[in-house]
């Protein structure tokens, strides 16, 4: 069976995390989270983990070369041999170029870069409309998942609040960063014939069905 090596692209609020969880089950892919990998490397005390810890302890961003090194180490483990799913990395063109070289050195390559495409105004509505209850964090939305009584959790009766990172001004700032730093990767992967677009405004199930069919077709084409 050919491996599936996939990157998930898309703005904050596109639903990439939800799709990553479903695709793991569909194709038995390793879900590569750079944050989790860095924490694991630090806990294990690997050479790269010690380097990363030094930056993290100083409150600095871990350099790209260290992150790529951690990813490269992880992708050589047994559970990554059938493929992997990268969500949240790369975020910039230099990171994408470094990842491309690292995979080439391993004799591997990307199968596809899946773009869950959602317009900015939809992202703002999705994220700024989210509410959670104070007691247990049960999720609601002012448009699509309203409580029975305004601002009161149906489950535990606690007050609903808007998290700071869901405030409209914060969401728009996150979108600015995405459009400036990460959106250029759309052209980067399109030029390489790897980009596959998915309409992220559809329901999560419809998005999942589209992605699953796309990846199944790519795997079949590779095996023919």
Residues belonging to the active site: 16, 91, 130, 163, 174
Q: Give the orientation angle of helix 64-75 with respect to helix 34-44, to 10 degrees.
A: 80
Listed residue (87, 85, 121) closest to 15, CA to CA: 87
**What one-character DSSP code corresponds to residue 149?**
B
State the Cα–Cα distance between residues 5 and 102, nearest whole angstrom.
13
State the Cα–Cα distance between residues 55 and 212, nearest whole angstrom.
38
- With beta carbons less than 8 A apart as the criterion, state whether 207 and 22 touch: no
Tokens of 91: 């975020």
State the Cα–Cα distance between residues 173 and 33, nearest whole angstrom.
23
């Amino acid at each position: 069976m050919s491996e599936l090596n996939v990157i998930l692209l898309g703005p904050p609020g596109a639903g990439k995390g939800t799709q990553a969880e479903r695709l793991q089950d569909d194709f038995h892919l390793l879900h590569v989270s750079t944050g989790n990998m860095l924490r694991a490397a630090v806990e294990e005390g690997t050479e790269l983990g010690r380097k990363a810890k030094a930056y993290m302890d100083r409150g600095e961003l871990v350099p790209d070369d260290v992150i790529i090194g951690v990813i490269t180490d992880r992708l050589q483990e047994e559970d990554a041999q059938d493929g992997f799913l990268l969500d949240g990395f790369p975020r910039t063109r230099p990171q994408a170029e470094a990842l491309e070289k690292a995979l080439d050195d391993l004799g591997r390559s990307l199968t596809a870069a899946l773009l869950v495409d959602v317009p900015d105004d939809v992202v703002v509505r999705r994220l700024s409309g989210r509410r959670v209850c104070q007691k247990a964090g049960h999720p609601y939305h002012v448009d699509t998942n309203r409580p029975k009584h305004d601002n009161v959790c149906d489950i535990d009766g606690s007050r609903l609040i808007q998290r700071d990172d869901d405030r409209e001004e914060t969401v728009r700032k996150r979108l600015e960063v995405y459009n400036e730093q990460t959106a250029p990767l759309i052209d980067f992967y399109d030029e390489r014939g790897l980009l596959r677009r998915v309409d992220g405004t559809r329901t999560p199930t419809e998005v999942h069905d589209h992605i699953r069919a796309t990846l199944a077709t790519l795997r079949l084409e590779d095996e023919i």
